[in-house]
Amino acid sequence: MAVQTLDTQVVTSLVRAATAAPSLHNAQPWRFRFLSDSATFQVRAALDRCLPQADPHGRALHLGCAAALFNLRVAAAHAAWLPVTRLLPDPYDPRLLATVRLEPPPPPARAGAAEELAMLTDLADLFPAIRQRRTSRQPFRDEPVPAEVRELLVDAAEREGAHLRFPPPGEAWIILELSQDAEGRDLANFTTSGTGQPAQLALLGTSEDRPLDWLRAGQALERLLLVATGHGLSAALTSHTPEWSEPHAPERPQMVLRLGYAPPSPATARRPVPLVLEID
């Protein structure tokens, strides 16, 4: 493998794309370490950036780091590298959330190459949306999300091992009353201007509720957000309220989203890459 082609500039550009991910209160709770000899990124939790009051169990930290992990995978694919990813690779190091080893794309004749190349193409196609994605702080227009776009968002979540569903208005109002957005505001104020129905509410969940599931949910969140951005949608995110889930329910809610059409929001500041990246 031509590891020497991964110079500091390339590594920095990949991490810069990763850090465009959303995180609770824009805490940006991630660190990256690049191991040059194996062309492997480590995605690590930055405990000095955690929010003990808002996120006592570290769920949002995992979600944010996983969203950054997904952006890293997209950026790597855009740069024509195959991102071989492992979640929670070391049980003795809980801060090490994932590793991403960069490999050259497989030759087309190799067994299984078609699937890997299709995965690379799907990821690379999402790259332009990384810089375009914004968390919306504006009310949405009275314009529903088309059914075909909803299907694409459901598929995006499923690709990362999560579930996305659009609850009916009655259930959606209950969820809104229990929810706050990531900035602590009441999401019930973010109804459409005409009908007042939260028809564009979406619930992202997983089958279990462990750190591994949080990492899957965070990647699913960022994938569907990038797909949504590519279709002109904006999104408002919420913090998780585990009281929604019964102990034996098939779905553990991880995130509530409002999806729709809204005026553009400004980009939020990001920490300089040298503060979050170490190269060995």
pLDDT attached to residue 91 = 95
Q: What are phi and psi of 42, to 5 degrees?
A: -105, 130
Q: Are residues 90 and 187 in the same domain?
A: no
pLDDT in tens, 155-205: 999 999 999 999 887 666 666 666 654 445 545 554 454 444 444 889 999
Q: Are residues 254 and 273 in the same domain?
A: no
pLDDT attached to residue 239 = 58
Q: Are residues 152 and 107 in the same domain?
A: no
Q: Are residues 100 and 66 in the same domain?
A: yes
CATH code of the domain containing 242? 3.40.109.10
pLDDT attached to residue 273 = 97
Q: Are 32 and 65 in contact (CB under 8 A)?
A: no
Number of domains in the chain: 2
192, part of any domain? yes
Residue with the two structure tokens 């299907």: 151
pLDDT attached to residue 66 = 98
Q: Are residues 111 and 155 in the same domain?
A: no
138, part of any domain? no
253, part of any domain? yes
94, part of any domain? yes
116, part of any domain? yes
pLDDT attached to residue 182 = 46
Would you give per-residue pLDDT tens digits along the chain (280 residues)?
Answer: 333 468 999 999 999 999 999 998 899 999 999 999 999 999 999 999 988 888 888 999 999 999 999 999 999 999 999 999 999 999 999 999 999 999 999 888 887 788 999 999 999 999 999 999 998 877 788 888 999 999 999 999 999 999 999 988 766 666 666 665 444 554 555 445 444 444 488 999 999 999 999 999 999 999 999 999 999 999 988 755 545 555 545 678 898 888 999 888 888 999 999 999 999 9
254, part of any domain? yes
Q: Are residues 94 and 53 in the same domain?
A: yes
Kindly state the tokens that stand for 265: 């929001």
Q: Are residues 249 and 275 in the same domain?
A: no
141, part of any domain? no
pLDDT attached to residue 167 = 85
Strand partners, 44: 31, 96
Q: Are residues 173 and 194 in the same domain?
A: yes
Range of the domain at 157: 147-260
Long-range pairs for 120-123: beta carbons < 8 A, 24 or more residues apart: 120/77, 120/80, 120/82, 121/77, 123/73, 123/74, 123/76, 123/77, 123/78, 123/83
Q: Are residues 78 and 105 in the same domain?
A: yes
Q: Are residues 128 and 25 in the same domain?
A: yes
